[in-house]
Amino acid sequence: HDLIFKEWRTKESGKAGADGTFTVPAFFGKYKITVDEVTTEVELTKQKGSITVELR
């Protein structure tokens, strides 16, 4: 269970920088991202390599 509930999860919190960005290293997979009670779902895949998510 440790792999599923610890290593394979990405749990980050913090504040965006002056430019409004917040960078998080993450595993490939599906994520729910919540900022100020606004949630969006994204998927990070090998083909994408990295993604940019805008929440307004």
* pTM exceeds cut of 0.85: no
Classify the C-alpha dihedral 27-5-37-40 as positive or negative.
positive
From first to last of the 56 residues of the chain, give the pLDDT tens digit: 566 665 566 678 888 889 988 888 887 888 888 888 888 888 888 876 677 877 76
| 4 phi and psi angles, rounded to 5 deg | -75, -45
Please state the domain extents for the chain. 2-44
Cβ–Cβ < 8 Å for 31, 40: no
Residue carrying the six token digits 């009670």 = 37
Rounded Cα–Cα distance for residues 42 and 55 (Å): 12
User: What pLDDT digit, counting tens, does each position of 25-35 carry?
Assistant: 887 888 888 88
**What ranges make up the beta strands (E) of the chain?**
29-35, 38-44
